[in-house]
Amino acid sequence: MRFVLVHGAWHFGELWEPVRGYLEAAGHEVHTPTAGGLRAGDDMDVDLRGSVAPIAAYIREHDLTNCVLVGHSWGGYLISRIAIDLPERLRRLVYFAAYVPRHGNSLADELPPHLRSALGALAEQAGDGSVVIPFHMWREHFFSDGTIEHAWEIYEKLRPQPYRTLVDKADMTGWERVPPAFSYINPSEDNDIPQGEWARHPRLSSRLGVFRLVGMPGSHEVLLTNPELTAQKLIEAGRE
């Protein structure tokens, strides 16, 4: 299979490297572009389309077709836009602990009120158009199944997230053109949004209609804490 792996907020393409290694060892082709606003030197004043642009350009420039397009977390917004713009290049969309956008809703709109308020406060605190996640939130909500040492190692690599990309409203015009081949990977200990009524699955995953559900143990950052299992689940999610 040909995988295009799209990262989530505060991440960048190279953080997929452990997963990439296992996928390539299993004989698959892997691409890990970085979204606009998260590349070195990028401006923080970027919206969702600006974040999507470098990834879409990468797919075109490398003439990638028959792709399994994977979006982790916030990356669900990016792969949805790419799928609308480049439907002929895709074989399947895989939402990995990801947001499934609704037309006119931003990522912030999908958060419980206390997290929405916290996001806005963090942006105000940064004062430069970015949001930086505090370590205690990273450790407890995102990286709960890794060691404290590993949590710090990855945290120090994270990049500021452009705030506009989290409050920009999704434009899903043209979604009907997207090939209806969807998978949703649901890590059972994913708690970056509290489990229960606000959990992404099944609240957001159900927006896909008919889709393949792939379960796995692990936190929101299981791609980093257990890359071998993540690779196995991506293969399961991407297969015909």
Q: What is the pLDDT of residue 216?
A: 98
The catalytic residue positions are 73
Rounded to whole angstroms, how far apart are CA atoms 83 and 94?
11
Yes or no: domain 2-238 corresponds to CATH 3.40.50.1820: yes
Spans in the chain with pLDDT lower than 70: none
Output the pTM of the full model.
Answer: 0.98
Rounded to whole angstroms, how far apart are CA atoms 139 and 151?
6
Q: What is the pLDDT of residue 45?
A: 95
Q: What is the pLDDT of residue 107?
A: 98
Q: What is the pLDDT of residue 101?
A: 98
Q: What is the pLDDT of residue 49?
A: 97
Q: What is the pLDDT of residue 19?
A: 98
Residues 95, 66, 234: CA angle, nearest 5 degrees: 35
Q: What is the pLDDT of residue 131?
A: 97
Q: What is the pLDDT of residue 171?
A: 97
Q: What is the pLDDT of residue 10?
A: 98
Q: What is the pLDDT of residue 218?
A: 98
Closest CA to 83 of 74, 94, 73: 94
Q: What is the pLDDT of residue 55?
A: 98
Q: What is the pLDDT of residue 160?
A: 98
Q: What is the pLDDT of residue 70?
A: 99
Three-state DSSP at 10 gives coil
Q: What is the pLDDT of residue 158?
A: 98
Q: What is the pLDDT of residue 191?
A: 95
Q: What is the pLDDT of residue 81?
A: 98
Q: What is the pLDDT of residue 230?
A: 98
What's phi and psi for 64, nearest 5 deg? -80, 130
Q: What is the pLDDT of residue 173?
A: 97
Q: What is the pLDDT of residue 129?
A: 96
Q: What is the pLDDT of residues 115-163, one digit of tens each?
A: 999 999 999 999 999 999 999 999 999 999 999 999 999 999 999 999 9
First and final C-alpha spacing in the chain = 10
Q: Are strands 161-162 and 130-131 parallel, antiparallel or unpaired?
A: antiparallel
Domain ranges of the chain: 2-238
Q: What is the pLDDT of residue 205?
A: 98
Buried b (16+ CB within 10 A) or exposed e, 143-167: bbbbeeeebeebbeebbbbbbbbbb
